[in-house]
Amino acid sequence: MKATITDVAKRAGVSMKTVSRVLNNEPNVAEKTRARVKAIADELRYSPNLAARGLATSKSYLIALIYDNPSPNYISHIQRGAIDACREAGYHLVVEPLSLAESGTHDEKVGLVRTVLDRLPVDGVILTPPLSDNEAVLEVLEELSIKCVRIAPKNGGTQPFVGMDDETASYQMTQYLLKQGHEKIAFIRGHMDHAATSLRHAGFVKAMQEAGLAVSENFIVQGDFSFESGAAAARKLLAESNPERPTAIFASNDDMAAAVISVAGQMGLNVPDTLSVCGFDDTPLARVVWPALTTVRQPIFKMGHQAAKELVRRSDEEAEKGQILDFEIMLRDSVSELK
Amino acid sequence: MKATITDVAKRAGVSMKTVSRVLNNEPNVAEKTRARVKAIADELRYSPNLAARGLATSKSYLIALIYDNPSPNYISHIQRGAIDACREAGYHLVVEPLSLAESGTHDEKVGLVRTVLDRLPVDGVILTPPLSDNEAVLEVLEELSIKCVRIAPKNGGTQPFVGMDDETASYQMTQYLLKQGHEKIAFIRGHMDHAATSLRHAGFVKAMQEAGLAVSENFIVQGDFSFESGAAAARKLLAESNPERPTAIFASNDDMAAAVISVAGQMGLNVPDTLSVCGFDDTPLARVVWPALTTVRQPIFKMGHQAAKELVRRSDEEAEKGQILDFEIMLRDSVSELK
DNA sequence: TTGCTGGTTGACAGCGCTGTCATTACTGGA
DNA sequence: TCCAGTAATGACAGCGCTGTCAACCAGCAA
């Protein structure tokens, strides 16, 4: 049978309340008492009953990770990071996928979110793109006054968030391409709903302009982060009929970059000799395609970690309003110097 | 403020207990009363307090997905399936990654698992490979008498499980290769800890033997399901020094198959013209490499779904001892007929 | 000595729900 | 008409914990 707080109390010859104080690290317990209670709790392998504690405190010691993102890799890393932080604080992570994109009107979305959140009284939620900026979700969270941390949101808002500087990353990657001698550089945009899409685009444009290069309309193609959209974009950019082909293509995520490499291969174009390609995200895919993809590594794990950490923060610790984490440019084999 | 059962009871002019009966679909409530209570509960947007209910019933309405598997794609699909089933039954899924492989002795592993499970009193757990067959985990589960469903376990045991027939899938895929005229077929094995590894190998061997073909030692290479191990295996198999090269390579998962394609590309071998390649799992990767991978589709989502469904089963429904789900062979472009 | 302060401890109620068991309402047959 | 027998309902305790508040015990100044 599982030990209860009463068992520990009896064994230690103190009241339940004192045990409770020790377990919650509350002040005003004599050091000697504290040590004894701790020892006995360990001995009995006591661990508090979450339901009871939750009922008494109206906290659940649960935080939710809410997402509507088809990229398993992204979620999986966020998740790992978040769980890591939860464990340290005695919290647990429950995952709640939401399919909001195709679920009708704003009110229907609100209803859906509310149903999920009503049922499970979590202490906080982590929002991943594109939900970080979803009105319906934010509205319900506000209404139920649930704490939340947004990952890579489009605009600040009042809640804390964690993100990275997509624009600068994109800017630096473009500069790298320029340094390799490329001037005819095409850019494939991501999904419109994601905050990162316009930031990455902006960084690209900024670097091009600083280099005094015109950004041709024909060299900016809209994608949606999927492999298929990347392939379509590549076919368009590399078409024979295209008056002049780019010497480099900057796809704003790895899936689309992989598609570019694949299409180039099918068309008999050698990457990186006749076409340089780079991506964004550093998914496992990046190392798995050939040639290995030059890309930007996002600190995904850490984002999840920091987000959860903020949510499980004990109130006496300092709050973080927003955090911008560092990225890293991974130079691999898919970009070469222009001869 | 959130409505409680008392609010509903007052409004409906009945006792709490009657409301409780309605909400839990218990018998012995007049249809009229039932309908009225339901309506009022809806109106008040009442949803039960999980902690209170948990305290009263010593159930948590939580099930855990425990894994130690580096494949985000696999986990992510299992997870989706499981959550789906949970939602239908008012349960929630909490995810618990465990790093058991490198965590020392058996007893240390047991300790680690126990810590995680002690803290969170879940009603059931889903075990994914390679944990489905992990002694330490199974032991703790038994000790705490927590229900569990194992996904793709090596050997039956007494718990329910869901899986697919890896051996037959592998057998059929090999037959397909044979039908394309290949005889010199190499096989790359997966990670030793996974049940699937020997099953897939067995299916391959069976088909070869039935075709009256010898399976050369040199054509069986040990991998570990990682891209890197696949690449190493491919380099070994395709080495110039190798007296005779295979005309087809059957990698026992997609990552390794992708590695084979990549290595072949680097060595100037055309896939599928001079080398046919096939994989196993049908991960997104399979459609993303070029040429697209001929592979076996596992019903991963469904496995997660069925596993969770079994755990949240109300006791009056029928139990399923074990379920073997169907696979599908996905014919794509990485295998061609031997000329 | 008394009175006061502040650190330490415990008694008790109550969080929102369900299980048990008693009570009431209703049915059909004698 | 009355009485079982069953269906419908409710009163109440208690799940394991924490918040509140009162009680207690030094130690020290007056």
Give the model confidence (pLDDT) of B167-223 as tens digits. Answer: 999 999 999 999 999 999 999 999 998 889 999 999 999 999 999 999 989 999 999
In chain A, which ranges are E strands? 62-67, 92-97, 124-127, 147-151, 161-164, 185-189, 220-222, 248-251, 276-278, 295-297, 322-325, 328-330
* pLDDT, mean of residues B130-141: 90
Would you state the pLDDT for residue B207?
97
**Contact criterion met (CB < 8 Å) for B80 and A97:** yes
Question: Residue A284: which pLDDT band, with cuts at 50, 70 and 90?
Answer: confident
Residue ranges of chain A whose CB lies within 8 Å of a chain B CB = 45, 47, 49-52, 54-55, 58, 60, 62, 72-73, 75-77, 79-80, 83, 90, 92-97, 114, 118-121, 227, 255, 258-259, 261-262, 265-266, 284-285, 287-290
Would you state the pLDDT for residue A109?
84
Q: Tell me: pLDDT of B267 over 90.
A: no
Would you state the pLDDT for residue A167?
96
Would you state the pLDDT for residue A13?
92
State whether the Cα torsion B233-A297-A268-A189 is positive or negative.
Answer: positive
Bases of chain C below 7 A from a protein C-beta are 7-12, 14-20
* pLDDT, mean of residues B305-310: 94
**Contact criterion met (CB < 8 Å) for A92 and B120:** yes
Would you state the pLDDT for residue A190?
95
- For A228, half-sphere exposure in the C-beta direction (CA atoms, 13 angstrom radius) is 1
Would you state the pLDDT for residue B154?
84
Strand C interface, A 35-54, C-beta < 7 A: 52
Would you state the pLDDT for residue B197?
95
DSSP letters of B125-176? EEE-TTGGG-HHHHHHHHHTT-EEEEES-SS--SS-EEEE-HHHHHHHHHHH
Out of B50, B95, B118, closest to residue A79 by CB: B95
Would you state the pLDDT for residue A208?
97
Q: Tell me: pLDDT of B130 over 80.
A: yes
Bases of chain D below 7 A from a protein C-beta are 7-12, 14-20
What pTM does this model have? Answer: 0.88
Would you state the pLDDT for residue B248?
97
Q: Tell me: pLDDT of B286 over 80.
A: yes
On average, the pLDDT of chain B sits at: 91
More confident residue, A53 or B290: A53
Q: Which residue is nearest to nucleotide D12 (CA to C1')?
A: B17
Give the model confidence (pLDDT) of B1-50 as tens digits. Answer: 688 999 999 999 999 999 999 999 988 899 999 999 999 999 999 999 99
Distinct helix (H) and strand (E) counts, chain A: 13, 12
Q: Tell me: pLDDT of A95 over 70.
A: yes
**Contact criterion met (CB < 8 Å) for A75 and B77:** no
More confident residue, B253 or B90: B253
Q: Tell me: pLDDT of B70 over 80.
A: no
Q: Which residue is nearest to nucleotide C12 (CA to C1')?
A: A17
Q: Is the CB of B20 under 7 A from strand C?
A: yes
**Tokens 């947007």 appear where?**
B45
Question: Distances in Å between the alpha carbon of B95 and those of A63, A94, B51, B106, B194?
Answer: 11, 6, 19, 23, 20
Shortest CA gap B213–chain A (Å): 33
* pLDDT, mean of residues A221-236: 93
Question: Residue A317: which pLDDT band, with cuts at 50, 70 and 90?
Answer: low
Q: Tell me: pLDDT of A224 over 90.
A: yes
* pLDDT, mean of residues B83-102: 87
Specify whether the CB–CB gap between B62 and B120 falls below 8 A: yes
Would you state the pLDDT for residue A1?
67
Among A268, A209, A225, A218, CA closest to A241: A218
Determine the nucleotide nearest to B33 by Cα–C1' distance. Answer: D8
Q: Tell me: pLDDT of A125 over 80.
A: yes
Q: Tell me: pLDDT of B147 over 70.
A: yes
3-state SS assignment for residue A187: strand
Q: Tell me: pLDDT of B113 over 80.
A: yes
Shortest CA gap A308–chain B (Å): 14
Measured between CA atoms, the residue of chain B closest to residue A116 is B87
Give the model confidence (pLDDT) of A143-180 as tens digits. Answer: 888 999 999 998 777 889 999 999 999 999 999 999 99
State whether the Cα torsion B6-B11-B13-B18 is positive or negative.
Answer: negative
Q: Which residue is nearest to nucleotide C25 (CA to C1')?
A: B30
CA A154 remoteness from chain centre:
13
**Contact criterion met (CB < 8 Å) for A121 and B49:** yes
More confident residue, A55 or B321: A55
